[in-house]
Amino acid sequence: MARGLVLGVGINDLPRFHNCPFYSRWKGILRRCFGDRDDRHYEGCQVAEQWLRFSAFKAWMEQQPWLGNHLDKDILSPDTMIYQPET
């Protein structure tokens, strides 16, 4: 995984490392919001500005009980269209 821009909006600002579970989840939410219009894309979906930097997302994930769980913007706020720490 290279440092730099991801899907035109996300900033991978950390050095290379392999098999990072946080990176795959981060790229997944970027793909759902900013990727090609396919079955994984959610129309109107957004990502909180602070999560556009991988380092911020990773720092948040490290504080969560993430193992065995999924990122889901709708669990706490069913009508929200934004991936953010609060949702």
Give CA–CA dist 64/74, Å, rounded.
Answer: 17
Number of domains within the chain: 1
* Structural domain harbouring 38: 4-83
Percent of the residues in the chain that have a pLDDT greater than 90, as a whole number: 29
Which amino acid does the sequence have at 10? G
- Per-residue pLDDT band at 2 (split at 50, 70, 90): low
- Any idea which of 11-25, 28-42, 45-59 has the lowest mean pLDDT? 28-42
pLDDT at 3: 65
Give the containing element (helix H, strand E) for 61.
helix 54-61
pLDDT at 38: 65
What pTM does this model have?
0.79
Per the DSSP assignment, residues forming a β-bridge with 5 are 11
